[in-house]
Amino acid sequence: MSTATAEAAVQLIGIGKAFAGVQALRDVSLTASAGAVTGLVGENGAGKTTLLKILAGVYKPDRGRIALGGVPASFNDPAAAQAAGIAIIHQEVNVLPHLSVAENIYLSHLPRRGPFVDWPRLRDDCAAVLDNLRVKLDPETPVGELSLARQQMVEIARAIAQHARILAMDEPTASLSSEEVAILFSTIRQLTAEGVTVIFVSHRLEEVFEIADPIAVLRDGQMVGTMPRAQATTERVIELMVGRPIDRQFPKEVAEVGPVVLEVEHLSTEQLLRDVSLTVHRGEVVGLAGLVGAGRTELARAIFGVDRLSAGSIRIQGREVRIGSPADAIRLGIGFVPEDRKRSGLLLRFPLYANHTLPSLRRFVRSGRVVKRLETSAFQRWTKELSIHARDALEEARDLSGGNQQKVVLAKWLELSPQLLILDEPTRGIDVGAKVEIYDIMNRLVKSGTAILMISSDLPEVLGMSDRIVVMHEGRITGEFARGAAREQVMEAAIA
């Protein structure tokens, strides 16, 4: 749908907003049409959430105007925005877990009969709204028992029950599986078909390209481009988001492949893995693809000595080894960057230098004591090497952005010069610019002879950064492909 002809349901004009010295938005304008999904993308901190919160009456803008259907509007609080037909689905799910689906949907205006809630009517109204959204949910289920995706559906149903005509969604797919994303998208399509105006915020470009038209790009609080979907290419949007040309989204450099470093043979575990065999060579990136739950992380844990093997063997550089614990794995030159960097990759409240030296602490001991000065200077060396943006080595890990946190996790393993590095979802939740930097680090590592086993659910990343691709499904290996494999082949093996 072209924005020129469609009704401009929402206009944000020249919006400015500062928080205690931070200029979050500067002269930002955005138009969203009825019946369309307007995509809003930008790196972390670009100002997307702030803009939505201004539309929703959560923040008052310092400058600028809002118009709805061409008529000036101004909201002093969220209730005023809601009364004007605006609903926002916030980044964090916002439900009352102990209340039922029906109560959550009608929270602000429960149907009453005299002083009492009219339960039969509440159930009927709720069933009608859910039916209309084609969502199968029992109105009486406590919301806390539902999956995140379904809790989010309850929020959308709440917006519809409040007759919202403008629905702004802030990173709604952040914690959804791909099946759940598909359900959400069909709901969004149905809403726009009924004339609802949707503003869809995300930093996952693939999804924005699938659902949104037009696409607007924010960078550092400024609107740097708006274009119809048909004119948006990944390269162009990324370049606008990052503010510098990214020659390639996946800057893979093929290194010289040497002898086998890791050789897994007929490995099984009690839990899930069945007869898994695979090799990773010096200078090679092996991408491990598959759906969530296929057993990829389990395989990494078995290799790293977290889970016990029930059958099979592991060889490191041709020598059979028994890895009974992560400490054994580390001694054998294996590093492991886990999937969940905030839970198991980093000690968030610890200073960076302490995170850095955790697996290599012995090296910093002199006369029986850990020497902090050596630790901080080791960490500082890596901040230069990997361009880690941090105040200093004493800063707490939690204060860094996702991309910088991931570089800290990488640095801590690189300190040990591992022969084999296992990366589990190395760029999940990281900005595009920082992603490319992590790919560059991978390139440098394989060039210096490291073997990398990269688990990733991001298929373009697996295809773009692997020398070889191994696919798992339900604990088994179901396919192996050389670099250059087609997306469909890999997908097929993943669901086979």
Ligand X SMILES: Nc1ncnc2c1ncn2[C@@H]1O[C@H](COP(=O)(O)OP(=O)(O)O)[C@@H](O)[C@H]1O
Q: Which residues bind ligand X (CB under 6 A)?
A: 19-20, 22, 24, 42, 44-50
Minimum distance from CB of 90 to Mg ion (Å)? 9
Q: Which is nearer to Mg ion, 169 or 452 (CB)?
A: 169
Q: Which does 164 bind (CB under 5 to 8 A by kind): Mg ion, ligand X, none?
A: none
Give contact residues for Mg ion (rule: CB under 5 A). Answer: 48-49
Cβ atoms within 10 Å, residue 385: 13
> How far is 199 from 36, CA to CA, in rounded Å?
8
Minimum distance from CB of 21 to ligand X (Å)? 9
Q: Which does 47 bind (CB under 5 to 8 A by kind): Mg ion, ligand X, none?
A: ligand X
Minimum distance from CB of 89 to Mg ion (Å)? 12
Specify burial of residue 250 (Cβ count, 10 A radius: 0-12, 13-18, 19+).
middle
> How far is 254 from 257, CA to CA, in rounded Å?
9
Q: Which is nearer to ligand X, 42 or 479 (CB)?
A: 42
Minimum distance from CB of 163 to Mg ion (Å)? 26
Q: Which does 283 bind (CB under 5 to 8 A by kind): ligand X, Mg ion, none?
A: none
Long-range own/partner contacts, residues 485-492 (CB < 8 A, 24 or more apart): 487/459, 487/460, 487/463, 490/289, 490/459, 490/462, 490/463, 491/459
Of all residues in this chain, which one has the CB nearest to Mg ion in the complex?
A: 49
Question: How many residues in total does the chain contain?
Answer: 496
Q: Which does 44 bind (CB under 5 to 8 A by kind): ligand X, Mg ion, none?
A: ligand X
Q: Which is nearer to ligand X, 46 or 303 (CB)?
A: 46
Cβ atoms within 10 Å, residue 494: 19
Q: Which does 50 bind (CB under 5 to 8 A by kind): Mg ion, ligand X, none?
A: ligand X
Q: Which is nearer to Mg ion, 57 or 305 (CB)?
A: 57
Q: Which is nearer to ligand X, 52 or 477 (CB)?
A: 52
Q: Which is nearer to Mg ion, 56 or 490 (CB)?
A: 56
Q: Which does 69 bind (CB under 5 to 8 A by kind): Mg ion, ligand X, none?
A: none
Minimum distance from CB of 165 to ligand X (Å)? 23
Minimum distance from CB of 62 to ligand X (Å)? 13
Q: Which is nearer to ligand X, 61 or 283 (CB)?
A: 61
Minimum distance from CB of 170 to Mg ion (Å)? 6
Q: Which does 46 bind (CB under 5 to 8 A by kind): ligand X, Mg ion, none?
A: ligand X
